[in-house]
Amino acid sequence: MAKEFTFNWQWDIKSSPEAIWSLAADTNRFNRDTGQPEVELLTNVKGTKLARMKLPILRIEWEEEPFEWTYPYSFGIARRYRKGPLDEMRVNARFDPLPEGGTRISYQSIFVTGNLLAQLGIPFGIGVIAKNRFERAFRKYDAIIQRGESVNEMPRRRALSSGGRARFKSQSEAVMKQGTNPELVNRLEDFLDHADELSIQRIRPYALADAWKTNRRAVLEMFLRATRAGIVDMSWDLLCPSCRGITEGHSNLADVHGDSHCNTCQIDFRANFDHNIEVVFRPNASVRAIDYAAAFCVGSPQLQPHVVMSQSLSPLRSLPVDVQLEPGRFTMRASNASGSVSIFADADGASKADLRVTQYGWPPEEQRVSLLPTLNLINATDADSTFQLERTSWGDQAATAADVTALQVFRDLFATEVIRPGEEISVGSITLMFTDLRESTRLYRRIGDAPAFGRVREHFQLLEDEIAAEGGAIVKTMGDSVMAAFRHPIAAMRAMWKAQVKIMERGEPMLWLKAGMHKGPCIVVNLNDRLDYFGSTVNIAARLPNFSQGGELIFTEEIYKDPEVQEFLTQNLKPEVLSRFTDNVKGFDEPFTLWKLRV
What local confidence, expressed as pLDDT, does residue 11 receive? 97
What local confidence, expressed as pLDDT, does residue 451 receive? 62
Taking a C-beta distance cutoff of 8 angstroms, is the pair 292, 201 a contact?
yes
Q: What size, in residues, is the chain?
A: 599
What local confidence, expressed as pLDDT, does residue 43 receive? 83
Residue closest to 379 by CA, chosen among 408, 339, 336, 419: 336
The last residue of one of the domains, among 149, 177, 193, is 149
Same domain, 133 and 160: no
Tell me the per-residue pLDDT of 110-121, one tens digit each, with 9 for 90 and over.
Answer: 999 999 999 999
Amino acid (1-letter code) at residue 121: G
- For the chain, what is the domain count? 4
- Indicate whether 511 pLDDT > 80: no
Whether 166 is in a domain gets the answer yes
Same domain, 88 and 71: yes
Same domain, 280 and 346: no
Same domain, 76 and 145: yes
- Indicate whether 156 pLDDT > 70: no
Whether 358 is in a domain gets the answer yes
Burial of 293 (0-12, 13-18, 19+ CB in 10 A): exposed
Same domain, 43 and 80: yes
Q: What CA–CA distance (Å, rounded) separates 547 from 594?
A: 9
What local confidence, expressed as pLDDT, does residue 449 receive? 56
- For residues 446 and 217, which has the higher predicted lDDT (pLDDT)? 217
Tell me the per-residue pLDDT of 398-444, one tens digit each, with 9 for 90 and over.
Answer: 999 999 999 999 999 998 888 888 888 999 899 999 998 876 656 66
* Full domain range(s) for residue 184: 153-301
Rg (CA), the chain: 28
Whether 271 is in a domain gets the answer yes
Tell me the per-residue pLDDT of 532-590, one tens digit each, with 9 for 90 and over.
Answer: 999 999 999 999 999 988 888 999 999 999 999 999 998 888 878 899 999 999 888 88
What average pLDDT does this structure show over 322-344?
91
Same domain, 50 and 161: no
- Indicate whether 154 pLDDT > 60: no
Q: What CA–CA distance (Å, rounded) separates 30 from 23?
A: 7
Whether 65 is in a domain gets the answer yes
Tell me the per-residue pLDDT of 262-305, one tens digit each, with 9 for 90 and over.
Answer: 877 778 888 888 888 999 999 999 999 888 777 888 788 888 88
* Residues paired with residue 433 on neighbouring β-strands, in sequence order: 484, 517
Residue closest to 325 by CA, chosen among 301, 303, 309, 341: 309
What local confidence, expressed as pLDDT, does residue 244 receive? 83
What local confidence, expressed as pLDDT, does residue 510 receive? 66
Same domain, 287 and 329: no
* Residues paired with residue 276 on neighbouring β-strands, in sequence order: none
What local confidence, expressed as pLDDT, does residue 454 receive? 66
Q: What is the pTM of this model?
A: 0.86
Asked if omega into 421 is within 30° of 0 (cis), the reply is no
Tell me the per-residue pLDDT of 217-273, one tens digit each, with 9 for 90 and over.
Answer: 999 999 999 999 999 999 999 998 888 888 899 999 999 988 888 877 778 888 888
Whether 352 is in a domain gets the answer yes
Name the 3-class secondary structure at 160. coil
Taking a C-beta distance cutoff of 8 angstroms, is the pair 175, 136 a contact?
no
What local confidence, expressed as pLDDT, does residue 299 receive? 81
Q: What CA–CA distance (Å, rounded) separates 77 from 91?
A: 5
Q: What CA–CA distance (Å, rounded) separates 185 from 287?
A: 14
Q: How far is CA 324 from CA 256, 345, 389, 517, in A?
A: 37, 10, 11, 40
Name the 3-class secondary structure at 87. coil
The DSSP call for residue 130 is I
Percent of the chain with pLDDT over 70: 95
Percent of the chain with pLDDT over 90: 65
Q: How many CB atoms lie within 10 A of CB 514?
A: 23
What local confidence, expressed as pLDDT, does residue 560 receive? 94
Whether 55 is in a domain gets the answer yes
The domain spanning residue 137 has which CATH number? 3.30.530.20
Whether 467 is in a domain gets the answer yes
- Indicate whether 18 pLDDT > 60: yes
Q: What is the DSSP string of 373-428?
A: EEEEEEEESSS-EEEEEEESSPPTT--BHHHHHT-HHHHHH-TT--PPTT--EEEE
Same domain, 443 and 579: yes
- Indicate whether 190 pLDDT > 80: yes
Tell me the per-residue pLDDT of 40-93, one tens digit each, with 9 for 90 and over.
Answer: 988 877 667 899 998 888 899 999 888 999 999 999 999 999 999 999 999 999
Whether 403 is in a domain gets the answer no
The last residue of one of the domains, among 260, 277, 301, is 301
What local confidence, expressed as pLDDT, does residue 441 receive? 58
The last residue of one of the domains, among 301, 330, 350, is 301
448: pLDDT confidence band, cut at 50, 70 and 90?
Answer: low
Same domain, 169 and 314: no
What local confidence, expressed as pLDDT, does residue 304 receive? 86
What average pLDDT does this structure show over 169-181?
94
Taking a C-beta distance cutoff of 8 angstroms, is the pair 145, 21 a contact?
no
Same domain, 137 and 20: yes
